[in-house]
Amino acid sequence: MKLEDALLKRSENKCELCQSENGLKLYEVAPQSATNEDNCIMICDKCLAQIEKREELDSTHWKCLSTSMWSEVPGVQVTAWRMLNRLRNESWAMECLDMLYLDDEKLAWAKATGDHENDSAVDLHKDANGNVLQSGDTVVLTKSLDVKGTTLNAKMGTVVKNIRLVENNTEQIEGKIEGQVIVILTKYVRKQGA
């Protein structure tokens, strides 16, 4: 039996964290030396996006951890511990953390990525008005920009289609203006249609 099929059977076709039945994916709880049923879990798109910090943490959504933290699956326990730590400013999350016991091996695994040390803040690419930007969005320049190293001057109001997000820098996006791919600061763009 394939790993994904085994996990779907174990989870009864539900997210092992929040019990949602929509958009289930196999999630490998890092770090791993070998993929197996203990260190992989089935989770929904919403849980995955928030775990991977592609979406703001919704503390109401994560109250599901007060139930799922009791799972006998090591990957679920470790993920629950990490997420509860990210939500530790919430009283209910601290209460759950006080009750959740991980043996030394699982605790070392849970701490291995350092994810638990992060707070619930998520760094997202946002335009000048605070709208979240995604790859493929269309933006409008809110200021005329001189492009370094070229004679190009991108005028205020220029529409830039199909932007790309600069990885590891939420203040920058890439876009094509007059056939040239340039880096643009997010504080000088406005998401079109927002």
DSSP letter (8 states) at residue 21:
-
The answer, yes or no, to whether residue 179 has pLDDT greater than 90, is no
pLDDT (tens digit per residue) in 30-79? 998 889 999 999 999 999 999 988 888 899 999 999 999 999 999 999 99
Tell me if the pTM is above 0.85. Answer: no
Q: What stretch of H or E contains 28?
A: strand 25-28
Domains of the chain and CATH, by start: 3-117 (no CATH), 139-191 (2.30.30.40)
The answer, yes or no, to whether residue 118 has pLDDT greater than 70, is no
Mean pLDDT of the chain: 89
pLDDT bracket for residue 135 (50, 70, 90): confident
pLDDT (tens digit per residue) in 101-117? 999 999 999 998 876 66
Q: For position 120, what pLDDT does the model report? A: 52
How far from the centroid of its chain's Cα atoms is residue 100's Cα?
24
